[in-house]
Structure 1
């Protein structure tokens, strides 16, 4: 085979691999799913302080000026009275539950409806939980944090966040207890768990914090619209 043909095939394979990589990132809301590439060890070589050095495309993790999570410190919060309710239009959809090591992710196979925030429509692609919470309020950290990751038609990301404390059972989490236990000890464990209705996540609060930040895992993409419900 001629060298030019070999180079052409190699280029096509490279482009295909890059395209698959982009598709995987898009399906998870732009986040990297392979935890082997990074970790949360505070002073570790692959810990948060070094994320920006691990790959050129992750440089925002170290250099970005709008990085999440943040402390929602009340002295810095500005009250806006005309924002209104979050207008969600979710519907049942088939979902896969995956233990990504750093979180539990529920990925919807064909989308699960949308939400309207600030007159912009965002489609719900996946949701996941971090424990303990990533965001804090006046320095207080919570037991659990839910991220509902949405994307608009122009590629803008919006994350709606619910914070949890230890107390009475949560209906949505309770309905998934069996499935969560099944993958809790399996790193990268994944189960198709059938139809899930995102409407069971009760976004009932008219009060919420909102700011422009980033993804909280590599590549730490910025200009993400965060809406953190005030009701815990």
Structure 2
């Protein structure tokens, strides 16, 4: 009996280790464009993501999914969230055409966002056009996601919204490299040092809510920070990013998801609320 108990205990520990090791990986966005797309008429489109793979079930069953429409009349205005605690430093980077978007992956772990004493390392950033999140029903021309992660796999994303006007400085610096990888899915290009601090945005006023990844596996419990101030981008820059999307939708924005009973906060740090 004792031998059987030992075997059961060992087997249980093995299962637990496998599950623990797989959790961070399961929370990651999928890189293979062929597995899903944004075409509403396709069997691989957003309405069917949850049916493509068992591990993507949250895409259809999750009650706290992203993106959402943020209604100012329903947000809770606060000031206690404080100024965003960000420490971004230069890093070597690789630009990747993932087919469904273009991603800039940082090599070093020197840049981070700190929330409630926890450091989330800036791993990568990518773009969606048009914007995925909307404000009071208004959709913008572009949305940048800065994806941060802890060693244990917790994820926090900063979303920045853009409207068409003057060119964006950070994208201007990437123009040559974007053109070089724009023609083929899976293309990668080492681009040397990038400076994340050149992505300027307000740190005092932002929306905060708990949501999910906006691509499969649609993992939940993602801390979202959406910056209130809208930045500018040129039409040409958006078109350069869009060539990475190789389906019929000419878009890589997931449809809006129900807010349900979630709390959405608007932080106005430094202002009386």
Task: Give the conservation status (yes or no) of the 8 Å contact 1:156–1:224.
Answer: yes
Contact 1:147/1:159 (8 A) holds in 2: yes
* Residue of structure 1 in register with 2:167 after alignment: 169
Matching residue within 43, 56, 59 for 1:58? 56
The answer to whether the Cα contact below 8 Å between 1:125 and 1:149 also exists between their aligned partners in 2 is: yes
- Partner SS, residue 154 of structure 1: coil
1:49 maps to what in 2?
A: 47
Q: Which residue in 1 is equivalent to 2:65?
A: 67
Counterpart in the other structure of 2:194: 196
Q: Which residue of 1 aligns with 2:76?
A: 78
Shift of the alpha carbon at 1:30? Answer: 0.5
C-alpha separation in 2, matches of 1:24 and 1:152: 9
Question: Is 1:100 equivalent to 2:107 in the alignment?
Answer: no
Aligned pairs for 1:1-232 within 5 A: 25=25, 30-232=28-230
Q: Say how many residue pairs are matched.
A: 212
Structure 1 stretches of at least 4 aligned residues deviating more than 6 Å after TM superposition: none
Deviates more, 1:123-132 or 1:182-191: 182-191
Q: CA deviation at 1:214?
A: 0.3
Cα distance change of structure 1 residues 83 and 24 upon mapping to structure 2, 3 Å threshold: closer
Once the two structures are superposed, residues 112-136 of structure 1 have per-residue CA deviations (whole angstroms, 9 ceiling, x without a partner) of: 4111123321100001111111111
Task: Tell me the secondary structure at the aligned position of residue 201 of structure 2.
Answer: coil
Greater length-normalized contact order (CA 8 Å, ≥ 6 residues apart)? 2
Shift of 1:23: 10
Matches of 1:210 and 1:118, distance apart in 2: 13
* Gapped regions of structure 1 (runs ≥ 5): 1-17
Q: Deviations over 1:23-63 (max 9, x none)?
A: 9957xx71000010001111210111110010000000000
Residues 54-100 of structure 1, C-alpha deviations (whole Å, 9 max, x = no match): 00000000000110000111122110112221111111111100111
- The TM-score normalised by the length of structure 1 is 0.86
1:148-192 CA distance string (max 9 Å, x none): 000123321000111111112221111111111221222222111
Task: Tell me the CA shift for residue 227 of structure 1.
Answer: 0.2
Instruction: Kindly indicate whether the alpha-carbon contact (under 8 Å) linking 1:61 and 1:218 is maintained by their aligned counterparts in 2.
Output: yes
Structure 2 gaps, min length 5: 1-17, 231-273
* C-alpha RMSD over aligned residues: 2.1
Q: Distance in 1 between matches of 2:95 and 2:42?
A: 28
Q: How much does 1:108 deviate?
A: 1.1
